[in-house]
Amino acid sequence: MVTVLGLYTLGIVIATVLLALLVFLTYEPLRAYIHKWNEMKPIPGVEGAYPIVGNALYFKSNAGDFFNQIIESTNEFRHFPLLKIWVGPLPFVVLFHAETIEMVLNNPRHMDKADSYRFLHPWLGTGLLTSTGDKWRRRRKMLTPTFHFSILSEFLEVMNEQAEILTEKLEKQVGLLPFDCFSYITLCALDIICETAMGKKIFAQDNSDSDYVCSVYKMSDIITRRQRTPWFWPDFIYNLLGEGKEHKRNLKVLHSFTESVIRERAEDNSDSEVPQGTKKRKAFLDMLLQATDDDGNHLSQKDIQEEVDTFMFEGHDTTAASINWALHLLGSHPDVQRKAQHELHEVFGASRRPVGMDDLRRLRYLECIIKECLRLFPSVPLFARHICEDCYISGFKVPKGVNAVIIPFALHRDPRYFPDPEAFCPDRFLPENSAGRHPFAFIPFSAGLRNCIGQRFAMMEEKVMLASILRRFQVEACQKREDLRPLGDLILRPEKGIWIKLQNRA
Ligand code: HEM
């Protein structure tokens, strides 16, 4: 009897302690959540937001539908300075006006990335894209010189060589039925970034089913699925699921590849003997191996790996997507294509010589085309910052801890800066037409201190690839704009690829 009573009392004590613990653990977060919910009430919001689940019942789970819903909301709220959504219990303010975006991107206090970037950490660690605070500042200072003009000019050779392989592959499609050019372009961009970032040829254009190539693709998809699916968020659940295991498998392939390339290259660099008559091409990796901080310290193997993985991730899908959209737009606007070819003829005549640094400068109309393509289809359709202290945006209080989502896709369609926004009109970017435009009205590469470090590299690569294609072929688009349905994940891609027909130019 005494034992039963003892057990009973012990049970009550344990239950009370657990309950107290639960109240203790949830009280503060719950209080902060309710406070934030009330503080943010005045901000205009998408319909159907409920406590804890937020707008989850309103938003569709499919990536394309979700992106379209966000864009529709920005159209509906075009006359408000900002818009609020709740993704589960997390509050976001959505920004799509030059004036409000400037307030966030130009404020050094809001330099940190939003919470959702943590799903990139297992792959990219805290490299330049994902790092915060002092680490980011030190890295950015160390890495900025690696994108210097003189170094980029060495990469031009690689870009020309790979573009030549691309046009040889495309030649086989001339005069045939429509085909999807998406993977042709993407594999070429992958070859370029591998050789320039790591100094390693992977021959992706010839061998598209290599483990590394496949894992790069799978990983982007896996990460975006995790970002959109709240029950994939806790590691201990995710790691038990099939999806989590797939994530781990691909991570291993990606990391072992870059790890071994870095090791080989480091050994190569310490071996100063270069065979006579051979000139070793520099890669970003060589500069990372040599870089030192203000105190003269070198980067560790782990630091270098973070940056190499970051360049691999940021440095090819973005340019590839943009070149693909450009081919669609050029293929559906023969007048613009003709003008671009006219400019190419002025610069290159009938010669087949590679593109030089000086040519790039002279291809001004092609640059307007690339910008107009990035306006309509920015490769990074949205990105997000963490609001690190309470602030006011156009008179609305935005509390510390909220995420700000910046949507270039919607921003670039602001009719105040781009009248008839859906029209494809490269002349908008001629100097006389851009003068006086708000500096934050067109930001495909983000803006402010944390803008894209690779933007000059990207513009160079796009010019080389597009120039190589347009010098040789006539491109005809085989889809209508309405059929393309952009999928706005990490990268803006057309749902069903880009279908074109090619003819040889006379
Ligand atoms: C058309 C091509 C490209 C576009 C549209 C693009 C766009 C962007 C955008 C919007 C950001 C800001 C992202 C954010 O705040 O979350 C960014 C950051 C970055 N990009 Fe690019 N990018 C392109 C090409 C490249 C290339 C070729 C490289 C490298 C070779 C690169 C490397 C980076 C890095 C390292 C960052 C992080 C910078 C920092 O936080 O300091 N990007 N890019």
Q: Given pLDDT bands bounded at 50, 70 and 90, which one contains residue 307?
A: very high
Give the residues across from 54 on adjacent strands: 50, 87
pLDDT computed for residue 64 by the predictor: 77
Tokens 């970037």 belong to: 117
The finding on whether 314 has its CB within 6 A of some atom of ligand 1 is: yes
In a 3-state reduction of DSSP, which class is residue 59?
Answer: coil
Whether pLDDT at 13 is above 60: yes
Residue 130 Cα to ligand 1 midpoint, Å, equals: 11
Long-range CB contacts for residues 164-170, cutoff 8 Å, separation at least 24: 164/354, 164/468, 165/191, 165/205, 166/205, 166/465, 166/468, 166/469, 167/468, 167/469, 167/472, 167/473, 169/205, 170/469, 170/472, 170/473, 170/502
Read off the tokens for 417: 């800066």
Separation between Cα atoms, residue 27 and residue 306, nearest integer Å: 38
Going through 306-421 in order, the beta strands assigned E by DSSP cover 383-386, 391-393, 396-398, 403-406
Residue 458 Cα to ligand 1 midpoint, Å, equals: 9
The finding on whether 457 has its CB within 6 A of some atom of ligand 1 is: yes
Separation between Cα atoms, residue 458 and residue 155, nearest integer Å: 11
Ligand 1 nearest-atom number relative to CA 196: 30
The residue among 448, 439, 432 whose CA lies nearest residue 417 is: 439
Rounded percentage of the chain residues whose pLDDT exceeds 70: 93
Whether pLDDT at 18 is above 60: yes
Separation between Cα atoms, residue 324 and residue 499, nearest integer Å: 10
Separation between Cα atoms, residue 174 and residue 391, nearest integer Å: 57
Closest residue to atom 32 of ligand 1, CA basis = 454
pLDDT computed for residue 266 by the predictor: 86
Residue 98's alpha-carbon distances to 22, 57, 82, 105, 402, in angstroms, are: 44, 30, 11, 10, 20
pLDDT computed for residue 36 by the predictor: 86
Q: Given pLDDT bands bounded at 50, 70 and 90, which one contains residue 50?
A: confident
The Cα angle at residue 56 between residues 84 and 392, in degrees rounded to 5: 15
The Cα angle at residue 466 between residues 339 and 503, in degrees rounded to 5: 75
**Arithmetic mean of pLDDT, 363-367:** 98
Whether pLDDT at 355 is above 90: yes
Q: Which helix (H) or strand (E) holds 487?
A: strand 486-488
Whether pLDDT at 14 is above 80: no
> Using one digit for the tens of pLDDT, what is the confidence trace for 109-123?
888 888 889 999 999
Closest residue to atom 30 of ligand 1, CA basis = 315
**Arithmetic mean of pLDDT, 288-314:** 89
**Arithmetic mean of pLDDT, 450-455:** 95
Ligand 1 nearest-atom number relative to CA 193: 30
Whether pLDDT at 272 is above 70: no
pLDDT computed for residue 67 by the predictor: 86
Read off the tokens for 59: 């938003």
DSSP class of 429: G
pLDDT computed for residue 277 by the predictor: 56
Closest residue to atom 19 of ligand 1, CA basis = 452
The finding on whether 204 has its CB within 6 A of some atom of ligand 1 is: no
Read off the tokens for 322: 């943009």
Ligand 1 nearest-atom number relative to CA 446: 10
Which of 11-15, 32-36, 176-180, 259-263 is predicted with the least confidence, judged by mean pLDDT? 11-15
Residue 504's alpha-carbon distances to 25, 100, 264, 470, in angstroms, are: 69, 47, 42, 10
pLDDT computed for residue 3 by the predictor: 60
Which of 12-26, 100-114, 188-202 is predicted with the least confidence, judged by mean pLDDT? 12-26
The finding on whether 129 has its CB within 6 A of some atom of ligand 1 is: yes
Rounded percentage of the chain residues whose pLDDT exceeds 90: 63
pLDDT computed for residue 228 by the predictor: 74
The finding on whether 379 has its CB within 6 A of some atom of ligand 1 is: yes
Separation between Cα atoms, residue 56 and residue 60, nearest integer Å: 8
Closest residue to atom 11 of ligand 1, CA basis = 452
Residue 291's alpha-carbon distances to 141, 142, 269, 287, in angstroms, are: 10, 7, 13, 6
Ligand 1 nearest-atom number relative to CA 147: 30
> Using one digit for the tens of pLDDT, what is the confidence trace for 168-221?
999 999 999 999 999 999 999 999 999 999 998 989 999 887 888 889 888 888
DSSP class of 233: -
Ligand 1 nearest-atom number relative to CA 197: 30
**Arithmetic mean of pLDDT, 326-353:** 97
Read off the tokens for 190: 């992958």
Find the helix packing angle between 364-376 and 317-332, rounded to 10°. Answer: 100
The CATH architecture to which 107-380+444-504 belongs is Orthogonal Bundle (1.10)
pTM beyond 0.85: the answer is: yes
Instruction: Output the DSSP codes for 69-114.
Output: HHHHHHHHTTTSS-EEEEETTEEEEEE-SHHHHHHHHT-GGG-SBP
Q: Given pLDDT bands bounded at 50, 70 and 90, which one contains residue 291?
A: confident
Separation between Cα atoms, residue 192 and residue 116, nearest integer Å: 29
The finding on whether 140 has its CB within 6 A of some atom of ligand 1 is: yes
Residue 452 Cα to ligand 1 midpoint, Å, equals: 4
Residue 448 Cα to ligand 1 midpoint, Å, equals: 13
> Using one digit for the tens of pLDDT, what is the confidence trace for 224-265?
888 878 789 899 999 999 999 999 999 999 999 999 989 988
Q: Given pLDDT bands bounded at 50, 70 and 90, which one contains residue 502?
A: very high
Ligand 1 nearest-atom number relative to CA 384: 16
Q: Which of 117, 158, 314, 383 to mutate to test the pocket of ligand 1 (most atoms within 8 A of CB)?
A: 314
**Arithmetic mean of pLDDT, 120-136:** 93
Q: What are phi and psi of 273, to 5 degrees?
A: -70, 115
The Cα angle at residue 377 between residues 376 and 378, in degrees rounded to 5: 110
Separation between Cα atoms, residue 422 and residue 439, nearest integer Å: 20
pLDDT computed for residue 58 by the predictor: 78
Whether pLDDT at 44 is above 80: yes
Residue 146 Cα to ligand 1 midpoint, Å, equals: 14
pLDDT computed for residue 207 by the predictor: 84
Separation between Cα atoms, residue 271 and residue 300, nearest integer Å: 19
Residue 98 Cα to ligand 1 midpoint, Å, equals: 19
pLDDT, the chain, mean: 90
Residue 177 Cα to ligand 1 midpoint, Å, equals: 35
Give the residues across from 492 on adjacent strands: 488
Whether pLDDT at 273 is above 60: no
Q: Given pLDDT bands bounded at 50, 70 and 90, which one contains residue 7?
A: low
> Using one digit for the tens of pLDDT, what is the confidence trace for 395-435?
999 999 999 999 999 999 999 999 999 999 999 999 999 99
